[in-house]
Amino acid sequence: MSRPSQAFTLRSFLANVEADDPHGILRIRDKVSLDYDPSALVMEMEKTGHSPVVWFEKVGDSPFPVVTNLYGSRRRYALALGVPEERLIEEWASRNDRTIEPAMCKTGPIHDVVLTGKKVDLGYLPIMRHFNEDAGPYITNAIVIAKDPDTGVRNASFHRMQVKGRNRLGTSLHSRRHLWNYVQRAEERGEDIPIAVVIGAHPLFTFGGLWKGPITSDEYAVVGGMMGKPLEITAGRTVPVEVPIDAEIVLEGRIIANKREPEGPFAEFTGYASERSTQHVVEISAITHRKDAIYQDIVPGISDEHTSLLAVPSEARLLRTLRQHFPNTTAVSYPKSGTCRLHVYIAMRKPAPGQAKNAAAVAFGDDLSLKLVVIVDDDVNIFDDRDVFWAMATRMQADEDIDIIRNAMGAILDPSNHAGMTAKMIIDATRPSANFPKRHTLPADAVKRAQALLKKAFG
């Protein structure tokens, strides 16, 4: 088949990033160590307030360049979707309703190089240690493609993967999610789960892997909806799983039935080295990649990149859910101060009495990981912790506006949980009455003049 005019690839997106912002990619031409150096550079860079994509041209002795921090800036999420940054969450939420079935191809760039049998060696790739506490080298940008063992519907999901040998990986599957469910059903029959692990793709493919919806939805069709055209796929070489033809690197293999081995600890989004793991085992049967492939890494831990990959899709999903019940919901924010996973701020326009607590209850039902929901009025900037804390300080009374739910299901990776159980807190920081004092403000034209003067003075 002839290819559509627009191909969604990692390399085409990197070119778009550079065209959008000449400083959007930081190229490191000096040789860096495989272990720790890429993570250290990104984490130190965050302290300066800068967040470009980082392109390492030489990492250890690897022949592959390494790209990381692609998702360290929300501007790049919006660039991938083709919308202004202020439209990011609204656009993401709207595309969750679209699906376009994938297009099957005979082959594609992903099969430029195919390694099977004794040629399979994970040491061929620049898989690195990221933090001191990690149990070993980890693939952090592993999007696992698997099929429902009963229906054949495809699922795409992120999972950390620890190198355990030449063709062996350890992984922790997210319990209570789709791939976990696939493996449980397959293991009851003594069957392995064939998988393909995508490393390096256009952000819209990644966004499909972050999507959470019904187990009956084929997530390759979800990716197509994100792209606005069919995702082009081809048959795997050693497993019955189709792979995107424009991926940079794909590992083919199987999750071995009823096999468990120690995996972890690993630097998680909480800022801690997590030892919790489902301890599943993967055996790799093929490594395939494009010519001159780019290895895409994600700095784990509580990095901006890792946490924003949690926040952005969660904000879009929760905003959509809340508006189904409360059309006056104006914005949702998963703040980094809450690891972009455990806390959420919700803004509402003129909430009716009791409505704030109802909205919080919906949020807890939508996302079991949440342990704190703060509801504020729409004059509060929920993307600024200081503004939210100001609303709490001036609009909340603890004896009336705080509610606690005890012994609810929570995030297993939260180190403070009790066997998966947690307490959940609601804070209603909305105006307590219609005649509440007004915030002080400035005329818009005066603000514009001040900004112009400051720009002239400081650039």
Query: How many angstroms separate the CA atoms of 417 and 256, rounded?
Result: 29
pLDDT of residue 58: 96
Dump pLDDT digits (tens) for 261-276. Answer: 999 999 999 989 998 8
* pLDDT at residue 216, rounded to an integer: 85
pLDDT band at 176 (very low <50, low <70, confident <90, very high): low
Residue 288: per-residue pLDDT: 98
**DSSP codes, 248-268:** SEEEEEEEEEEEE-----EE-
For residues 357-375, average pLDDT: 96
Residue 241 shares a structural domain with residue 364: no
pLDDT of 5 above 70? no
pLDDT at residue 93, as a whole number? 87
The candidate with the shortest Cα–Cα distance to 376, out of 439, 314, 431, 317, is: 431
pLDDT for the residue 373: 98
Q: Which of 246-250, 433-437, 446-450 shows the lowest mean pLDDT across its residues? A: 433-437
Residues 294 and 349 in one domain: no
* Single pTM value for the model: 0.91
CB 274 within 8 A of CB 412: no
Query: 106 pLDDT band (50/70/90 cuts)?
Result: very high
CB neighbourhood size of 97 (10 A): 9
Percent of the chain surpassing pLDDT 70: 98
Q: What is the extent of the structural domain holding 271?
A: 10-304
Residues for the chain: how many in total? 459
- What is the mean pLDDT of the segment spanning 305-334? 95
Domain shared by 287 and 194, yes or no: yes
CATH number of the domain bearing residue 349: 3.40.1670.10
Same domain, 369 and 228: no
Q: What CA dihedral angle connects 245, 82, 210 and 38, to 10 degrees?
A: 80
Residues 221, 287, single domain; the answer is yes
Mean pLDDT of the chain: 94
What is the pLDDT at residue 2? 38
The reported pLDDT for the residue numbered 3 is: 43
The set of residues, in sequence order, having a beta carbon less than 8 Å from that of 251 and lying 6+ positions away, is: 122, 142, 196, 197, 199, 284, 286, 287
Distances in Å between the Cα of 139 and the Cα atoms of 119, 411, 449 are: 19, 22, 50
* Domain presence at residue 242: yes
Per the structure, the count of domains in the chain is: 2
Least confident span in 153-157, 213-217, 415-419? 213-217
Cβ atoms 27, 57 nearer than 8 A: yes
